Structure 1
Amino acid sequence: MNVLVLGAGQLARMMALAVKPLNINIRAFDVGSDTVVDPLSTDIVFGGLTQGIEFADFITAEFEHIDHQTLALCQASGKLRPSSQAIKVGGDRRLEKDLLIKCGVANAQHQIIATKADFDQALNNLSMPLILKSALAGYDGKGQWRLKDKAQAEDIWLDIKAFFDGGVQGLQHAVVAEQMVPFDREVSLVGARDSQGNTLVYPLTQNHHTNGVLSVSIAIEIDEALQAQAKQVFDSIAKELNYIGILAIEFFQIGEQLLVNEIAPRVHNSGHWTQQGADTCQFENHLRAVCDLPLGSTELIRPSAMINILGEDEVPNEILSVASTTLHWYGKSKRPGRKMGHINVSGNDEKQLAERLTLLADMLPEAEFDELKPYVASYKKQLS
């Protein structure tokens, strides 16, 4: 079986590693160079997109912000899974909000802003504080503004207008203004849907962000009612999109209610723990769904956590002395804030996982992992 992945980053790399034992061959379309490469050795080139489409039995994607012409060519081949429309929804917050409304899924109060009149209307209709997110270009905390009171409004509008003016010409730019939600915690659900409509979901994962970027995910057994609520949302969205593959949904938890923050039509950073904490990792299950193979178990086999490595190309070797700890590097050149790799750690129970997280937090340099210690301390306190 041959699969072309749109995008040649770490997610394509981890897909290739996960499905080699299934005799699935992965090539990746590098959107920066317009070439098809080996995701494990990106200096090996196999031609352009046309050659990649010819090679593939199926085509999938590792990120949402893909040129629409590329998506159209892949969709026309009949090989693209999930569909181009599903990928576009993940890359445009306007389409995403329309989808959530159509599915009757709870999300934050919001308004689409394309003009100064829209901006002024949002200030009147929504309560402060607001978070404003680029409809097309924002991710990992980029393309976002926080408006705490109306005294900031004019400066923020000028910044947004400059953002619009500096964007790709020919595209209709906008931002989505949302009322900030006073949530108890951030959680996410990663699940798989096959071409027959069968779905399986992994346990809800508790997430912590640093400067808008995911830094820690913890997967444990979650309240059954909350898990069922999340799966109902997953099934509703996945069915509406006629989705095939892994779909991730980020939620705000407020008491016993889940509000959708955003969706990602792909394997997701908050699901990296599945490499060591589940029978079948998200990368393998994505390709199983895409290639019409039976889905693998998504059950939690042991409490697990993932720690992102951001902007650093080395960590102390001693972390590997902590039991059930696995290090995953992405083979990237170092750059501030860049996702360079991640650390997975597991325990037989939550208490053991917390102890191992504490050991890792003590070993990792505090300057580069500055919020890890207090977060782990807070997690341990939850267990006491």
Structure 2
Amino acid sequence: MNRVLVLGGGQLGLMMAEAAARLGLVVDRYDPERALLLPGTSDLAVPISWEECQERYPVITVEREAFPETGFSAELAQSDRCVARGALQVIPDRFTQKTMLDKLGIPTAPWVMLDQAEDLPRAVADFGGVVVKARSGGYDGRGTWIVGEGGDLSAVPAVELAGKAIVEQKIPFRRELSIVGARSITGETLFYPLTRNWHVDGILRLSLAPANACSDLQAPAEIMLKCIMEELDYAGVMAVEFFEVDGQLMVNEIAPRVHNSGHWTHEGADWSQFDLHVHALAGVPLHALNVHGSSAMVNLIGTPFENAWLQHPGVVHWYGKSVRPGRKVGHANLAASSLDDLRQGLDAWADVLPEGYQQVLDSERALG
């Protein structure tokens, strides 16, 4: 199997295509917004028919969760060749995602549906602090409203969200962790170590890997991710974000694709998450992963490219997107032998990291 079609025309698909090229494989990208094909890493878009797709691509994967409900991309996403088909039917809707987790017995924040506006004060009475999440479409802090215990509910558009949102109990977590792993088309699995993530205003700003003091958490994280992938009959890379609460893991979100918190693997491991995704879909054996010391990933958010970055420690990955506030336009990866050495490198990136990143490093170091 040497050809894969990825639904989506963004940077994640492009990085899959780059990984495939090193293996002598081909990953082409279908851009749903333009209804055009982007062959390999090319930006020269061409038309393609359903018949050509059927003839050319034995496997279809995705770089995002949501696609138009009708049209060519919807047909491809629902095709029996799409290895994410089951995941796309469950994961994008937080109601069906949480229902699946409850069915599997996987810990997640207590929750209720927001069927009508009156459900919100009732949930606050039961849970205390709450997080209101749109059932679909929310990401990077969008579609999310956090209300602390005794907080003001007027900022939540509960009437507009009725039937379109869930309400979760606000969890007082110790830290946010994630695991990225893969399941092959033959059912073989492989996992990266748990990663420490730091979000600001709902947007991931810094990942540190491997997360410290996770020897007791790695196996439960792998079991949960494997269980989810098997339930959805999923092939490729998937990520799960967790809250760490009293030494236990609680699932926060699931991403049925390569994930921002796995970008550190570009420089931090023998095989990046993009290599692993392509391996899993092409039938290449999933070899053991060698991780290179301590790694950090710094998200570059809403900022123009700076030539000075090329003199900073680490490697810059730039996406070639137009710059706007809150948009992920690139990331930088740093690798070092220890967290102490990593901190010195990260200080060079202080101008693009929000205040507080040093405290994150200190708290992670204290766990070591």
State the TM-score, normalized to the length of structure 2.
0.91
Q: Alpha-carbon deviation of 1:45?
A: 2.0
Matched residue, 2:120: 119
Alignment of 1:1-384 (within 5 A): 1-38=2-39, 40-47=41-48, 51-69=52-70, 73-74=75-76, 77-82=79-84, 84-124=85-125, 126-148=126-148, 152-153=152-153, 155-156=154-155, 159-162=157-160, 173-220=163-210, 222=212, 223-322=214-313, 325-361=314-350, 365=351, 368-371=352-355, 374-380=356-362, 382-383=364-365
Letter of the 2:354 counterpart: D
Note closer, same or farther for the CA distance 1:297–1:317 as it changes in structure 2 (3 Å cut): farther
Instruction: Give the Cα separation in 2 of the matches to 1:307 and 1:319.
Output: 14
Letter of the 1:190 counterpart: V
Q: Alpha-carbon deviation of 1:297?
A: 3.0
Alpha carbons 2:236, 2:277 under 8 Å: kept: yes
Note closer, same or farther for the CA distance 1:349–1:112 as it changes in structure 2 (3 Å cut): same
Instruction: Give the Cα separation in 2 of the matches to 1:370 and 1:270.
Output: 17
Alpha carbons 1:326, 1:345 under 8 Å: kept: yes
- Supply the RMSD in Å over aligned alpha carbons: 2.2
Alpha carbons 2:4, 2:27 under 8 Å: kept: yes
1:233-255 Cα deviation digits (max 9, x unpaired): 11221221122111100000013
Q: Alpha-carbon deviation of 1:66?
A: 1.8
Letter of the 1:228 counterpart: A
Letter of the 1:307 counterpart: V
Letter of the 1:161 counterpart: V
Instruction: Give the Cα separation in 2 of the matches to 1:179 and 1:23.
Output: 48
Alpha carbons 2:297, 2:334 under 8 Å: kept: yes
Q: In structure 2, the residue corresponding to 1:116 is in which secondary structure?
A: coil
Q: Alpha-carbon deviation of 1:117?
A: 4.3
Alpha carbons 1:285, 1:296 under 8 Å: kept: no
Note closer, same or farther for the CA distance 1:59–1:178 as it changes in structure 2 (3 Å cut): same
Letter of the 2:159 counterpart: K
Instruction: Give the Cα separation in 2 of the matches to 1:220 and 1:333.
Output: 32
Matched residue, 1:169: none
Instruction: Give the Cα separation in 2 of the matches to 1:59 and 1:284.
Output: 16
Instruction: Give the Cα separation in 1 of the matches to 2:197 and 2:78.
Output: 37
1:194-227 Cα deviation digits (max 9, x unpaired): 1222211100000001111101000026432111
Q: In structure 1, the residue corresponding to 2:127 is in which secondary structure?
A: coil
Instruction: Give the Cα separation in 2 of the matches to 1:206 and 1:238.
Output: 22
1:126-185 Cα deviation digits (max 9, x unpaired): 3221110001111110011122356733x345x243356xxxxxxxx5211011100010
1:24-60 Cα deviation digits (max 9, x unpaired): 2122111212222246333432435664444312110
Letter of the 2:361 counterpart: Y
Alpha carbons 1:108, 1:180 under 8 Å: kept: yes
Instruction: Give the Cα separation in 2 of the matches to 1:163 and 1:246.
Output: 32
Instruction: Give the Cα separation in 2 of the matches to 1:221 and 1:147.
Output: 29
Instruction: Give the Cα separation in 1 of the matches to 2:123 and 2:211.
Output: 39
Sequence identity percentage: 35
Alpha carbons 1:9, 1:39 under 8 Å: kept: no
Instruction: Give the Cα separation in 2 of the matches to 1:377 and 1:41.
Output: 42
Alpha carbons 1:130, 1:177 under 8 Å: kept: yes
Q: Alpha-carbon deviation of 1:302?
A: 2.1
* Structure 2 unaligned blocks of 5 or more: none
Alpha carbons 2:182, 2:190 under 8 Å: kept: yes
Note closer, same or farther for the CA distance 1:296–1:123 as it changes in structure 2 (3 Å cut): same
Q: How many residues align?
A: 363
Instruction: Give the Cα separation in 1 of the matches to 2:293 and 2:258.
Output: 20
Q: In structure 1, the residue corresponding to 2:168 is in which secondary structure?
A: strand
Alpha carbons 2:209, 2:294 under 8 Å: kept: yes
Instruction: Give the Cα separation in 2 of the matches to 1:117 and 1:321.
Output: 52
Instruction: Give the Cα separation in 2 of the matches to 1:54 and 1:73.
Output: 15
Letter of the 1:210 counterpart: V
